[in-house]
Amino acid sequence: MTELELEHYLHKHIPLLRAIGMWIVSIDGNTVVLGAPLAPNINHRDTVFSGKASVVTILSAYCLLHLRLTALEQSSYVVIQRNSMDYLAPIVGDFTARSALTPGQDWGQFMAMLTRKGVARISGDAILDYAGADAGRLTGEFVAFGKNRL
């Protein structure tokens, strides 16, 4: 799946992203970087509203899992089960969210479980970056359902 295909997929299925003005910075097998502007969605302090930062970080982690499964031609879908998020610094301009598997997660074991049981859990992280510094940190726990559960 190319960046353009992912962008088309996301905007089609999650219309909220248009309102946010989110874009895809880069994707590969190990990380997804999404970008979002300060405007037009600012909060009462002229900083990025925490809810919007939360949306973009959750999505970058979700996209990584979606892309990895799509690359393997897995008929599956991914849902988030839990997340925790730390807001480390105010964001007063365009920002990015960069995702990766949570350290220690075993992709091979996850795939084996998904194939065998039709359901498997995995964790993804995302870091919010503003002006070259970490502005937030998310850990998300996701569940993937395989084709026999669709």
Kindly list the residues in this chain that would bind a copy of itself in the complex (CB under 8 A): 9, 13-16, 18-20, 40-45, 49-52, 54-56, 58-59, 62, 77, 79-87, 90
Nearer to a copy of itself, 29 or 90 (CB): 90
50 Cβ partners below 8 Å, 6+ apart? 43, 87
Contact criterion met (CB below 8 Å) for 87 and 136: yes
For residues 16 and 112, which CB has a smaller minimum distance to a copy of itself in the complex? 16
* Rounded distance between C-alpha atoms, residue 150 and residue 10, angstroms: 20
DSSP category for residue 89: S
∠ CA 5-6-9, rounded to 5°: 85
Q: How far is the CB of 83 from a copy of itself (least distance, A)?
A: 5
Measured CA distances, 148 to 19, 108, 144 (Å): 35, 19, 12
Nearer to a copy of itself, 62 or 130 (CB): 62
Nearest approach, Cβ of residue 28 and a copy of itself (Å): 21
Instruction: Pick the closer one to a copy of itself by CB: 85 or 100.
Output: 85
CB of 132 to a copy of itself, least distance (A): 21
Shortest Å, Cβ 86 to a copy of itself? 5
